[in-house]
């Protein structure tokens, strides 16, 4: 593995410890919100597409000891760090890391009861050009339609995709889900209560005929912006989940 400068960090009030690159894409609030929104039914087999250093996988795993997970990461160095993080948190019996492309339909990953993903938010030419160390995490090689089509094929009947993305991408997400997955549910994530949503969490299910449902929103910070709201703080500590109910 190439020599990468890393930091060691605690997540979920110290329940998880991870190593991650000091520069480049790092675990953030989006990672933990996504993990808190994933269904963790007993016996479920789950997959994260583009798992990075494994933080979301670990955050999902500690919620239910009766789920198993596969993380797919195409960057060899990052996948190696992810394996180390899984081992450091004593999760190798439940979490497997595969180096590969989650969108490769010929890959023998299998099928899953749920797939979750925090994909690159921009396509080429959108937004500000990121630093090269962050490029693969920010600039998508494939459009959202390709992501959702490939991941939908990984689901068992009744299985769900859970995704976090920019709120501005909502029309593209819903269009990509149309005809593939149903029962789409969406949670708007606002920086503060009075501000427009910047993120959305979306879940949709294979075989569902339920109509689209807009769920109660989550505001991350209080009115001053200085503190997280109690609801957000509980999620970031690992004391609460993010419910689509």
Q: Residues 152-159: what's their mean pLDDT?
A: 97
- What is the number of structural domains in the chain? 1
Residue 131 belongs to a domain: yes
At 155, phi and psi to the nearest 5?
-95, 140
pLDDT value at 130 more than 90: no
pLDDT computed for residue 137 by the predictor: 47
* Cα angle value 69/145/217 (rounded, 5°): 70
pLDDT computed for residue 117 by the predictor: 98
pLDDT computed for residue 235 by the predictor: 97
pLDDT value at 122 more than 80: no
Please state, in angstroms and rounded to a whole number, the distance separating the CA atoms of residues 177 and 67.
Answer: 26
Confidence of residue 25 (pLDDT cuts 50, 70, 90): confident
Q: Residues 105-124: what's their mean pLDDT?
A: 91
- Over residues 35-84, the pLDDT tens digits come to 999 999 999 999 999 999 999 999 999 999 999 999 999 999 999 999 99
Mean model confidence pLDDT for the chain: 92
Residue 97 belongs to a domain: yes
| Domain span including residue 102 | 6-237
Q: Residues 113-140: what's their mean pLDDT?
A: 66
- Over residues 199-237, the pLDDT tens digits come to 999 999 999 999 999 999 999 999 888 899 999 999 999
Residue 175 belongs to a domain: yes
Residue 145 belongs to a domain: yes
pLDDT value at 105 more than 80: yes
Please state, in angstroms and rounded to a whole number, the distance separating the CA atoms of residues 176 and 200.
Answer: 15
Residue 242 belongs to a domain: no
Residue 42 belongs to a domain: yes
Confidence of residue 175 (pLDDT cuts 50, 70, 90): very high
Q: What is the pTM of this model?
A: 0.91
Please state, in angstroms and rounded to a whole number, the distance separating the CA atoms of residues 62 and 47.
Answer: 15
* Residue 138 neighbours by CB under 8 Å, 6+ apart: 25, 120, 121, 122, 127, 130
Q: Which residue, 206, 155, 195, 148, is CA-closest to 172?
A: 148
Residue 244 belongs to a domain: no
Q: Residues 89-108: what's their mean pLDDT?
A: 97
Q: What is the CATH number of the domain that holds 211?
A: 3.40.50.150
Least confident of 17-21, 39-43, 167-171, 226-230: 226-230
Please state, in angstroms and rounded to a whole number, the distance separating the CA atoms of residues 98 and 82.
Answer: 10
Residue 85 belongs to a domain: yes
């Amino acid at each position: 593995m190439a020599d990468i400068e890393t930091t060691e960090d605690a997540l979920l009030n110290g329940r998880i410890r991870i190593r991650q690159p000091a520069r480049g894409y790092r675990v953030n609030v989006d990672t933990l919100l996504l993990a808190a929104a994933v269904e963790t039914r007993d016996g479920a087999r789950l997959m994260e597409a583009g798992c990075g250093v494994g933080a979301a996988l670990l955050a999902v795993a500690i919620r239910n000891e009766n789920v198993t997970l596969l993380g797919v990461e195409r960057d060899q160095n990052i996948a190696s760090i992810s394996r180390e993080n899984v081992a450091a948190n004593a999760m190798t019996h439940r979490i497997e890391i595969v180096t590969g492309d989650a969108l490769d339909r010929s890959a023998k990953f299998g099928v899953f009861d749920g797939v979750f993903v925090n994909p690159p938010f921009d396509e080429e030419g959108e937004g500000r050009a990121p630093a090269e160390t962050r490029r693969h995490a920010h600039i998508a090689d494939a459009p959202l339609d390709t992501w959702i089509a490939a991941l939908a094929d990984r689901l068992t009947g009744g299985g769900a995709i859970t995704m976090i993305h920019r709120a501005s991408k909502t029309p593209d997400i819903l269009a990509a889900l149309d005809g593939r997955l149903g029962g789409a549910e969406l949670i708007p994530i606002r920086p503060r209560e009075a501000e427009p949503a910047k993120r959305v969490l979306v879940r949709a299910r294979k075989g569902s005929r339920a109509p689209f449902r807009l769920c109660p929103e989550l505001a991350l910070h209080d009115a001053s912006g200085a503190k997280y709201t109690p609801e957000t703080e509980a999620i970031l500590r690992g004391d609460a989940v993010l419910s689509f109910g």
